[in-house]
A and B are shown apart, each in its own frame.
Chain A
Amino acid sequence: AQTVTQSQPEMSVQEAETVTLSCTYDTSESDYYLFWYKQPPSRQMILVIRQEAYKQQNATENRFSVNFQKAAKSFSLKISDSQLGDAAMYFCAYRSAGGGSEKLVFGKGTKLTVNP
């Protein structure tokens, strides 16, 4: 079974600074997808960024980028120029690519605080 580990229960960053959230995962599969979700106080789950395992190029979405290290099974999220609205719980998630499996396996989450 796949597992996802987020080793930082809480992180904080100063507004306008850069912060990196860590995520590691364990799988025996070679093809899969990885995601970062943001959950603000409204509780809504918002997809921030995603990465296909067979793509070597790291995904980027505006101020959000990932560092995907397939061999190390690492998938960290970098937030640049942090804004107050980035304060939220962040979840790393894994999904198998084959067999029609749509199940998301989540990490335990990292609570990000942004200080003004």
Chain B
Amino acid sequence: EAQVTQNPRYLITVTGKKLTVTCSQNMNHEYMSWYRQDPGLGLRQIYYSMNVEVTDKGDVPEGYKVSRKEKRNFPLILESPSPNQTSLYFCASSLAYRGWQDEAFFGQGTRLTVV
């Protein structure tokens, strides 16, 4: 089954404690990205990756890091989480450079609370 898997689905942590949210896809997609969803703001892109070892900032990258060492995995790292990073996070993947076929597949979401 084609899917994007995020873990964990729920996480409560304390300010300053480093954490990683994992994302894995089994569709051999080149493009992967992270979004955060906040009430009244919709989804905003944090970081994206066009392929292995190729990453770039999205619209709200401050306080986040990513890496793309393997094509299937794209973890999101919060080195020193703060309460303003409390949000719902989505990983998404898609093919790239194929126009209409580039449908985005989303993970199940990770609800992060930083206290």
Residues of A at under 8 Å CB distance from B?
Answer: 4, 6, 9, 33, 42-45, 47, 50, 52, 91, 95, 97, 100, 102-104, 106-109
Contact = CB atoms under 8 A, between A and B. Distances in A.
A106 B103 CA distance: 15
A43 B104 contact: no
Interface of B: 31, 33, 35, 40-45, 48, 50, 58, 88, 90, 92, 94, 96-97, 99-100, 102-104, 106, 108-109, 111
Contact of B90 (A42, A45, A52): A45
B42 A108 contact: yes
A6 B90 CA distance: 21
Given A91-B43, A102-B31, A97 B96 contact: no
A106 B44 contact: yes
B48 A103 contact: yes
